[in-house]
C-alpha cells in the first residue's frame, strides 16, 4: 500500500485509540505535524508540546523506545567527518553529527547548533551565536573552540578525506567568546549558509578528535544518536543520545544500518522482518504495492546520474566533437524506461527539484535529442571514425549505475567506441574517483548546499577540476559566469549565470549528464515519520518513531 501522508496514518491511530497522548506528541514532533491539529485532537497547549520544531533549549533527556534496522544499499566505507567522496559515507555518519545550521524537510534553513547568525552586506563575514549546553557524546560541552577546530579541519581534511571546493573561501575562524564565532571569507560568498545546512562537510566535532580516535571507524558528535560500532561491509549501530539538545528527539532507542547491496536480499529481509526499511528500485517497489504489511515512500532526490570523463591524459574525448558525438548517440529515454521503469527525469548539471535553478525539461529535450547519423559524422570529422577503446567504471551497488553504463556501452557501438564496463565496490570506486585514476565513471552527484556546488568542478583551478580535467578541458565563459554568480547575492543575476553555465555544460559535454531518478523507499508499517529526503540522505530516521506490535 502506498502512503505519502504519514500524518494521516498517525491521526488514524489516534482516532482508533492505538496512539496515546505521549506517543502522539512525540511522533507529531517527528513528523512536523501542525500544532493546531494536535491541540484539536487532544486539547493540549501545542507550542510547548512541539517545541523541538523551533529548537529551544537543550533537552533534559529524550525518551527513546524500540529499535529499527534500516538497509543501506552501499557500504559507507568509512565514517570520516570531512572529505568523504561517496554519499554512502554520509549515510553511515549522518546520525551522530550536527552542523551549525540544518535544512528542514522543505530545504528551508533552520537553526541547529547555532541559534542564530548574522552576515555582513558583502557576505564576507558571518557571526554565529551558538546554542549553550549542547553536549558531545563524550559528555563534553560544545563551545566555540570546537567550532573553530571543525572549520579549520573541514576545508583541508587529513587523508583519506579529499579537499572539496565548497569551503575553499573560508579564510579564518575567530573565537569571540565561548558561544560566538566569526567565520571570515576570503571573498564574497553567499553560499556558506546552504553549505553548512547541507551538513555533509561541516560536522561539528570536539577539538582534537583526529588525535583522540580513529575517525575511519569511530566518531564523536552532538547528533541524536551515539555510535556503538561500525563493521565495514556489514553494519553501523547507533543508540539513542538521551542528552540530545532537541526536546522529544530522538524517538527510537537503537538504530542499526545494515549493508545489503543486493536488492533481492533487501526485499527478502523486508518480508521476513529482518529489516524495517530499505531503498528499492521503482520496478521492485511496485511489486510490493499490495503488501499490507509494507508502506511505499517515494520522492525526488538530488542524485543526478552522470558519465564522468577524465581528460587529464591525451585521450580522444579531449576533442569536443567526440564528446558531442557521444551525447548525440545516447538515448536517455531508454535509460528512463529500462532502468527506472519510467520513474526518472532528464537532468542537467543542476537536477530537477532544486527550486527554479535547473534547466527546464523542454530545453533538455532539445539538447539531448539523439541523432546517431550526426554523431557518426562528428566522429569522422574528428578523424576517429574507427573509434577507440575505453573503460567505464561503475558503482556496483546500487545496480542502476552499472545498468546505465551497459546501456551507454551498447548505444556507442555504432560509433565504434568499444566500452568495457567495470563494476566496482564503492570503496575502490571512490578511491579511483578521489585520485582521478579512471577514464570514465558511471556515477552520480549528491545534494549541494548552493547551486554553485553542482557546477564548481567545471571552474578552472578548483581542486577536483584539476584532478579530473587537468589541462584537457576548460571553458573561459564558465569561469567568468561562475565568478560573477559568487560575487553577488542577487538571486535573479545568479540564476541567469547558472542557467547559462548549464547550457554550456550540455553543449560542450565535459561530463555526460543523463537522468535524475525518483527514489523509492519501502518500510514496514511500524515505522512512522520516515520520508524520502531530497538530500538523498536518510534524514527522516533522525526523528522517525516505531510502534511495537
Per-residue pLDDT of 125-158, as tens digits, reads 999 999 999 999 999 999 999 999 999 999 999 9
CATH code for the domain in which residue 482 is found: 3.10.105.10
What average pLDDT does the structure give for the chain?
Answer: 89
Q: Which residue has the higher pLDDT, 518 or 60?
A: 518
The CATH number for 124's domain is 3.90.76.10
For 441, the 3-state DSSP assignment is strand
Residue at 116 is within a domain: yes
What local confidence, expressed as pLDDT, does residue 35 receive?
Answer: 43
CA-closest candidate to residue 390, choices 470, 320, 311: 311
Cell digits of residue 66: 524500540
Range scoring the smallest mean pLDDT among 5-19, 70-84, 97-111, 436-450: 5-19
Name the β-bridge partners of 389: 418
| H-only helix segments in 105-204 | 144-153, 192-198
Does residue 549 lie within any of the structural domains?
no
In a domain, 258, yes or no: no
Q: Which of 179, 209, 239 is the last residue of a domain?
A: 209
- Give me the half-sphere count of Cα atoms (radius 13 Å) on the Cβ side of residue 421: 21
Number of domains observed in the structure of the chain: 3
**In this structure, are 355 and 467 located in the same domain?**
yes
Same domain, 205 and 353: no
Is 312 part of a structural domain of the chain? yes
* Burial class of residue 39 (count of CB atoms within 10 Å of its CB; 0-12, 13-18, 19+): middle
| Banded pLDDT at 1 (limits 50, 70, 90) | very low
C-alpha cell of 162? 579529499
Say which residues have a Cβ less than 8 Å from residue 393's Cβ, sequence separation at least 6.
422, 423, 424, 429, 432, 438, 439, 440, 441, 442
> Is residue 313 situated within a structural domain?
yes
26 plus 131 within the same structural domain: no
Q: Are 166 and 456 in contact (CB under 8 A)?
A: yes
- Looking at the structure, do residues 109 and 16 belong to the same domain, yes or no? no
End position of a domain, from candidates 209, 237, 261: 209
Residue 246 pLDDT class (50, 70, 90 cuts): very high
Average pLDDT estimate for 339-363: 94
Q: Do the domain assignments include residue 83?
A: no
pLDDT of residue 9: 41
In a domain, 300, yes or no: no
512 and 363 share one domain: yes
CA 224, 227, 228, 233 torsion-angle sign: positive
Distance CA 103, CA 379 (A): 46
CA pair distance 470, 466, nearest whole angstrom: 5
Residue 441 · residue 308 · CB < 8 Å: yes
Is residue 470 within 8 Å of 317, Cβ to Cβ?
Answer: no
Boundary (domain end) residue, out of 192, 209, 226: 209
pLDDT digits (tens, 9 = 90+) for 288-307: 999 999 999 999 999 999 99
Q: Do 353 and 462 have their domain in common? A: yes
Q: Do 512 and 421 belong together in one domain? A: yes
* C-alpha cell recorded at residue 388: 577507440
> How long is the chain?
549
The answer on pLDDT for 345 being more than 70 is yes
364-377 pLDDT tens trace: 999 999 999 999 99
Whole-number Å distance between alpha carbons of 199 and 100: 8
Query: d(Cα 222, Cα 53) in Å, to the nearest integer?
Result: 17
| Residue among 401, 181, 384, 167 at smallest CA distance from 307 | 401
How far is 543 from 258, CA to CA, in rounded Å?
19
pLDDT above 60 (res 22): no
Torsions phi, psi for 61 (to 5 deg): 145, 125
Q: Are residues 38 and 102 in the same domain?
A: no
Same domain, 45 and 144: no
Burial class, 2, CB count within 10 angstroms (exposed 0-12 / middle 13-18 / buried 19+): middle
**DSSP secondary structure code for residue 422 in this structure:** E
- Report the distance separating Cα 350 and Cα 302, nearest Å: 9
Is a pLDDT exceeding 60 seen at residue 61? Answer: no
Looking at the fold, whether 398 and 511 belong to one and the same domain comes out as yes
Is 250 inside a domain boundary? no
pTM: 0.75
Q: Residue 184: which domain range?
A: 96-209
Whole-number Å distance between alpha carbons of 142 and 105? 26
Asked if 484 and 358 sit in the same domain, the reply is yes
Same domain, 3 and 100: no
Amino acid at each position: 500500500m502506498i502512503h505519502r501522508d504519514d500524518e494521516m496514518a498517525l491521526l488514524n491511530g489516534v482516532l482508533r485509540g492505538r496512539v496515546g497522548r505521549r506517543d502522539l506528541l512525540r511522533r507529531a514532533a517527528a513528523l512536523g505535524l501542525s500544532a493546531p491539529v494536535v491541540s484539536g485532537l487532544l486539547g493540549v497547549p501545542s507550542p510547548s508540546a512541539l517545541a523541538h520544531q523551533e529548537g529551544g533549549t537543550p533537552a533534559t533527556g529524550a525518551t527513546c523506545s524500540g529499535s529499527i534496522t534500516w538497509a543501506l544499499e552501499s557500504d559507507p566505507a568509512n565514517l570520516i567527518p570531512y572529505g568523504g567522496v561517496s554519499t554512502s559515507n554520509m549515510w553511515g555518519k549522518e546520525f551522530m553529527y550536527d552542523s551549525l545550521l540544518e535544512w528542514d524537510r522543505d530545504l528551508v534553513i533552520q537553526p541547529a547548533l547555532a541559534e542564530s547568525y548574522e552576515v555582513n552586506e558583502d557576505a564576507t563575514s558571518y557571526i554565529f551565536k551558538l546554542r549553550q549546553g549542547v553536549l558531545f557524546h563524550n559528555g563534553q560541552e560544545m563551545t566555540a573552540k570546537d567550532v573553530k577546530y571543525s572549520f579549520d579541519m573541514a576545508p583541508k581534511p587529513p587523508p583519506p578525506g579529499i579537499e572539496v571546493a565548497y569551503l575553499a573561501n573560508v579564510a579564518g575562524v575567530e573565537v569571540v567568546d565561548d558561544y560566538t564565532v566569526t567565520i571570515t571569507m576570503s571573498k564574497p560568498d553567499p553560499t556558506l549558509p546552504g553549505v553548512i545546512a547541507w551538513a555533509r562537510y561541516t560536522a561539528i566535532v570536539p577539538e582534537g578528535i583526529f588525535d583522540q580516535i580513529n575517525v575511519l571507524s569511530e566518531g564523536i558528535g552532538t547528533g541524536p544518536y551515539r555510535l556503538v560500532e561500525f563493521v565495514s561491509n556489514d553494519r553501523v549501530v547507533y543508540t539513542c543520545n538521551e542528552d540530545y539538545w532537541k526536546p522529544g528527539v530522538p524517538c527510537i532507542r537503537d538504530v542499526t544500518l545494515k549493508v545489503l547491496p543486493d536488492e533481492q536480499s533487501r526485499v527478502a529481509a523486508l518480508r521476513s522482518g529482518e529489516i524495517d526499511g530499505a531503498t528499492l528500485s521503482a520496478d521492485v517497489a511496485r511489486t510490493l504495492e499490495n503488501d499490507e504489511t509494507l508502506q511505499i515512500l517515494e520522492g525526488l532526490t538530488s542524485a543526478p546520474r552522470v558519465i564522468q570523463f577524465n581528460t587529464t591524459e591525451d585521450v580522444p574525448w579531449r576533442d569536443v566533437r567526440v564528446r558531442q558525438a557521444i551525447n548525440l548517440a545516447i538515448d536517455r529515454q531508454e535509460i528512463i524506461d529500462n532502468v527506472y521503469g519510467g520513474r526518472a527525469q532528464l537532468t542537467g548539471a543542476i537536477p530537477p527539484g532544486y527550486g527554479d535553478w535547473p534547466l527546464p525539461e523542454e530545453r533538455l529535450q532539445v539538447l539531448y535529442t539523439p541523432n546517431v547519423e550526426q554523431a557518426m559524422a562528428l566522429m569522422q570529422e574528428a578523424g576517429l571514425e574507427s573509434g577507440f577503446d575505453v573503460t567505464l567504471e561503475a558503482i556496483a551497488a546500487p545496480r542502476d549505475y552499472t545498468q546505465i553504463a551497459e546501456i551507454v556501452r551498447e548505444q556507442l557501438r555504432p560509433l565504434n567506441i568499444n566500452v568495457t564496463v567495470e563494476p566496482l565496490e564503492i570503496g575502490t570506486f571512490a578511491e579511483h574517483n578521489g585520485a582521478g585514476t579512471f577514464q570514465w565513471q558511471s556515477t552520480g552527484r549528491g545534494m549541494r548546499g548552493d547551486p554553485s556546488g553542482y557546477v564548481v568542478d567545471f571552474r578552472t583551478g578548483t581542486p577536483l577540476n584539476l584532478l579530473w580535467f587537468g589541462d584537457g578541458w576548460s571553458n573561459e565563459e564558465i569561469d567568468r559566469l561562475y565568478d560573477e554568480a559568487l560575487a553577488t547575492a542577487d538571486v535573479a543575476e545568479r540564476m541567469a549565470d547558472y542557467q547559462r553555465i548549464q547550457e554550456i555544460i550540455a553543449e560542450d559535454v565535459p561530463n555526460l549528464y543523463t537522468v535524475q531518478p525518483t527514489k523509492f523507499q519501502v518500510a514496514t508499517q511500524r515505522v512512522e515519520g520516515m520520508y524520502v529526503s531530497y538530500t538523498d540522505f536518510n534524514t527522516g530516521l533522525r526523528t522517525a518513531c516505531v510502534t511495537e506490535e
